[in-house]
Amino acid sequence: MSLEHLFSPTNLAEIALKHRVVMAPLTRSRSAQPGDVPQQLNVDYYSQRASAGLIITEATQVSPQGKGYAFTPGIHSEQQIAGWKTITDAVHAKGAKIVLQLWHVGRISHSSLQLDGELPVAPSAIAPEGQAFTEQGFVDFETPRALATIEMPSIIEQFTQAAINAKQAGFDGVEVHAANGYLLDQFLKEGSNQRTDSYGGSIENRARLTLEVTQAVAEVWGSGRVGVRISPTGTFNSMSESEPQALFNYLTEQLSAMNLSYLHVVENFGGASSEGFSFAQLRSRFAGAYMANGGYTADSAEQAIAEGKADVVSFGAPFIANPDLPERFKQGATLNELDQNTLYGGGAEGYTDYPSLAAATS
Ligand code: 8OZ
């Protein structure tokens, strides 16, 4: 099958891409300790993958409070900004584009990961099911502390400052992480949001924080360099929503009016069913670029773009095991298999030692 659409250039508003194979954000928990600082090992990993049309970094905490997993990087300290700068320099030297994913985990954290052992914060005091990944191993989630209405500006401020820091670190833009059960998704979906203030209840109220954060970040970067990631049907991290179509149609219309770079839609993650949900309704409501994600192959991505269902497609798992994924797609080459045991934490093994085609044939 020809991959002419997948390998044609495009513009995500202000961000120009040489082709449409995007590296999805991937948590790998390998920043330097203490301080959650990007290091040379991470430079090697990202520069190996710089043949992507666009790299979206792993989720990166906007503040100490926004952290929820051991060893994930931040973008709130001088050392972290300097560490990220070494990554953006290396990726740019190879001619690729890279945006930073801005992350606040909300309740998907643990007091042992928070400053002064404080409880994680969330829209409502409802504990998620499951366990947090801490430096001491997996521990049960706690019941989070519900944010007071007067604290909401400080949440927006955390994203704003992180967006400013990302600019200093030399990125091409930022992606607001409003997917997969983290803070913004916790506000969006009713199972985790039982607030009675202007941030809970109606769809308009539940969408408010995501819209305010995106607006604030767009003021820092210019809207054409800001993307937003959503997972309308996702149930990962104990998410539930009875009216996802109405909620995400509304959110998408509001985001569309901001003239953003792209909308990044997790169509499929962790086996949750998307039956009955129309991603086409989001696509038709969004004026900017639509980035599809979740279980795509080169052929299904080509087809989605050819049929106008998406503008670009992001690949997660395949990019972990295949640093030269675009080249493998072009050649129709076999893909390396992913090692599930080296996804999170550790060093170079399962991180920077997956072979490229060139290495395998030399
Ligand atoms: C898997 C493990 C840890 C974090 C996400 C940031 O789902 C994540 C994540 C996924 O967006």
106's tokens: 């909300």
**275, 322, 277: which is closest to 298 by C-alpha?**
322
pTM for the predicted model, two decimal places: 0.98
Contact 173, 221 (CB under 8 A): yes
Question: Within 13 Å and on the Cβ side, how many CA atoms surround 140?
Answer: 4
**Separation of CA 220 and ligand 1 centre (Å):** 26
Residue 31, class by beta-carbon neighbours within 10 Å (0-12 exposed, 13-18 middle, 19+ buried)?
buried
Rounded CA separation 170/103 (Å): 18
Single out the catalytic residue among 69, 182, 199, 351: 182
Query: Can you give the pLDDT at residue 273?
Result: 87
Question: 10-361 in CATH: which number?
Answer: 3.20.20.70
Task: Please choose from 23, 26, 27 the residue to mutate so as to test ligand 1's pocket, defined by most ligand atoms within 8 A of CB.
Answer: 27
Q: 60: Cβ below 6 Å to ligand 1?
A: no
Q: 71: Cβ below 6 Å to ligand 1?
A: no
Q: Whose CA is nearest to atom 11 of ligand 1?
A: 180
Query: Can you give the pLDDT at residue 293?
Result: 98
**Separation of CA 2 and ligand 1 centre (Å):** 33
Orientation angle between helical segments 203-221 and 152-168, nearest 10 degrees: 30
What angle (nearest 5°) sits at the alpha carbon of residue 7, between those of residues 90 and 326?
50
**Separation of CA 356 and ligand 1 centre (Å):** 25
Name the 3-class secondary structure at 78: helix
pLDDT 10s per residue in the chain (362 long)?
799 999 999 999 999 999 999 999 999 999 999 999 999 999 999 999 999 999 999 999 999 999 999 999 999 999 999 999 999 999 999 999 999 999 999 999 999 999 999 999 999 999 999 999 999 999 999 999 999 999 999 999 999 999 999 999 999 999 999 999 999 999 999 999 999 999 999 999 999 999 999 999 999 999 999 999 999 999 999 999 999 999 999 999 999 999 999 999 999 998 888 999 999 999 999 999 999 999 999 999 999 999 999 999 999 999 999 999 999 999 999 999 999 999 999 999 999 999 999 876 65
Orientation angle between helical segments 203-221 and 244-256, nearest 10 degrees: 30
Q: Whose CA is nearest to atom 1 of ligand 1?
A: 27
**244, 249, 331, 241: which is closest to 283 by C-alpha?**
249
Task: Please choose from 180, 184, 268, 314 the residue to mutate so as to test ligand 1's pocket, defined by most ligand atoms within 8 A of CB.
Answer: 180
Atom number, ligand 1, closest to the C-alpha of residue 236: 7
**Separation of CA 27 and ligand 1 centre (Å):** 6
